[in-house]
Structure 1
Amino acid sequence: MLKVENLHTYHGFLHVLKGLDFVLSEGELLSIVGSNGSGKSTLLGTLAGVYTPSNGNIEYKGFKITKDSVQKTVSKGICLVPERRQIFSSLSVKDNLILGSYHRYRKDKKTIQYDFDEIIELFPRLKPMLNRSAGLLSGGEQQMVAIGRGLMANPKVLLLDEPTLGLAPLIVKDIMNILRKLCDERNTSIILVEQNVKAALKIADNACVLAHGKITMSGTAKELINNPKIQEAYFGKLKQELNR
């Protein structure tokens, strides 16, 4: 579904992504793990059209989208849920969700209510809060709004940047279960950037380790969990936890 070849991205003179190659299949959950500064957020931004790569190709369903804008990328079915949620605090929960469908509001108005109802079923905690200002919600509830807003774009590929950052363990578990459900029941493809390595690899089909802008290892999530070199280099004290 999504194919990345020899992807290079710069921020000014800083060479951030250095020749990335990977493929995302339909209904697959791919976790990207790595330390701060490894290029994870830049990768998602490049796939979403926020950043323009200097070299390489991005193909979606066989068509090149390497130079597409954010608007074109969203309209084709790829949506980014950014780090730290970035919701509209002064707007209601309902308005935040509806804004996710802005690009299809006129031509697809009849199905938007159906999609909205589906998202409320997916995040039932939001149902009694629809008219509340989003800024008054807890961090976990705001993250649900952010993911729901992304889903209102009706994406085939969902890009998530640190969705569990700063959240309580029970909320993390709920969100991870929902992401797995989206892949299994809606056939949504997901690229998940996450520093909570244990949670990310538990729900992933496949994973890549990103370091200094390069993919240093890739494989199934199970393979990465059980690889001693990866445990030593990236998981440290999580080694025993990951094997439980």
Structure 2
Amino acid sequence: MLRVEGIHTYHGYLHVLKGVDFHVRQGEIFAIVGSNGAGKSTLMGSLAGVYPPRTGSILFEGERISGDSVESIVRKGICLVPERRQIFDSLSVRENLLLGAYHRYRNEKRQVLADLERVLAIFPKLQELLDRPGGLLSGGEQQMLAIGRGMMANPKLILLDEPSLGLAPLIVKSIMGVLKQLRDELGVTVILVEQNVKAVLRIADRACVLERGEIVLAGTAAELMNNPDVQAAYLGKGKKAI
């Protein structure tokens, strides 16, 4: 579904991603883990068109999208749920959700309203909060809202950047359950960036480790969970080797 081939992405003169290669199959959860500063958010931004790679290519369903605008990439079926949620504090929950479908609201209003009901079925807590300003929600509720807003774009591939950041363990477990539901019941493909390695490897199909802008390990989630280097560096087991 998605193939990333040797991308190099810069922030000004800073060389952040250094020849990143990987692929993601349709209908799977693919996890990207790594420490702070490894380039994870830059990688997600590159996939979403926020930080176009200087070299290399990104192919989505066989079509090259590297260099396309963010809006074009959203229309093709890729949606980014950014780090720290970035909802609109002064807008209501309903307004935040409908903004996720801004690019198709005029021509697909009936379907957008049906999608709104689907999102509320996934996140019933939001049904109770539709008229509340987003800024008055708890952290967990805001993360539900951010994911729901992403789903309103009707994506084939959803990119989530640190969805567990700052959340209590029970909320993290709930969010991870929702991501499994998106994959298993709706067929949505998920790319998930996380520092909570244990939580993400429990739900992912495959994963990779990004360090200093390069992928240093890749495999199934089970393989990475049992890898001594990953255990030492991220799971607090043994002597750090990565």
TM-score tier by shorter-chain length is over 0.9
After superposition, give the CA deviation of every residue in 1:152-211 in whole Å (9 maximum; x if it has no partner): 000000000000100011110110000011011111111000111111100000000000
The question of whether the paired residues in 1 share the 8 Å contact of 2:155 and 2:188 is answered with yes
Shift of 1:235: 2.8
Unaligned runs of 5+ in 1: 240-244
Amino acid at match of 1:212: R
> Once the 2 structures are TM-superposed, how far is the Cα of residue 238 of structure 1 from its aligned partner?
9.0
Kindly provide the amino acid, as one letter, of the partner of residue 221 in structure 2. A
Answer 1 or 2: which has greater helix percent: 1
Q: State the alpha-carbon separation in 1 of the partners of residues 52 and 171 from structure 2.
A: 34
* Aligned position for 2:20: 20
Are 2:183 and 1:183 equivalent residues in the alignment? yes
Structure 2 CA distance for aligned equivalents of residues 158 and 90 of structure 1:
25
Cα RMSD, aligned residues only: 1.1
Write the distance in 2 (CA, Å) between the matches of 1:129 and 1:183. Answer: 25
Q: Counterpart of 2:128 in 1: which secondary structure?
A: helix
Q: Secondary structure at the match of 1:59?
A: strand
Give the residue type in structure 2 aligned to 1:53: P
**1:58 is aligned to 2:44:** no
Tell me, in whole angstroms, the C-alpha distance in 1 between the residues paired with 2:238 and 2:2: 31
Map residues 58-137 of structure 1 onto 2, 5 A cutoff.
Answer: 58-137=58-137
Mapped partners of 2:162, 2:230: distance in 1: 20
Q: Structure 1 CA distance, aligned partners of 2:88 and 2:156?
A: 24
Offset at residue 123 of structure 1 (A): 0.3
SS at match of 1:185: helix
Q: Following superposition of structure 1 onto structure 2, how do residues 10-49 of structure 1 map, counting pairs within 5 Å?
A: 10-49=10-49
C-alpha separation in 2, matches of 1:105 and 1:31: 31
Q: CA deviation at 1:4?
A: 0.5
Alignment-mate amino acid for residue 207 of structure 2? A
Per-residue CA deviations over 1:90-126 (Å, capped at 9, x if unaligned) read 0000000000000011121110111000000000111
Separation of aligned partners in 2, 1:230 and 1:178:
25
Query: Which whole-Å CA distance do the structure 1 matches of 2:7 and 2:72 have between them?
Result: 19
- The CA distance in 2 between the partners of 1:82 and 1:167, in whole Å, is 15
Q: What amino acid is the match of 2:29?
A: L
Residue type of the partner of 2:5?
E
Contact 2:157–2:189 (8 Å) recurs in 1: yes
1:102 is paired with a residue whose SS is coil
Q: Deviations over 1:192-238 (max 9, x none)?
A: 00111111100000000000000000000000001112212333349
Question: What amino acid is the match of 1:108?
Answer: E
1 CA distance for matches of 2:191 and 2:238? 22
TM-score, length of structure 1 as denominator length: 0.96
Aligned letter for 2:212?
H
The number of aligned residues is 239
Partner amino acid, structure 1, of 2:73: T
The residue number in structure 2 matching 1:7 is 7
**Amino acid of the residue matched to residue 84 of structure 2?**
R
Query: Paired residue for 2:232?
Result: 232
Whichever residue aligns with residue 111 of structure 2, its letter is T
Q: Distance in 2 between matches of 1:71 and 1:114?
A: 22
Quote the Cα distance in structure 1 between the aligned partners of 2:63 and 2:113: 30
Aligned equivalents of 2:168, 2:231: Cα separation in 1: 24
Unaligned runs of 5+ in 2: none
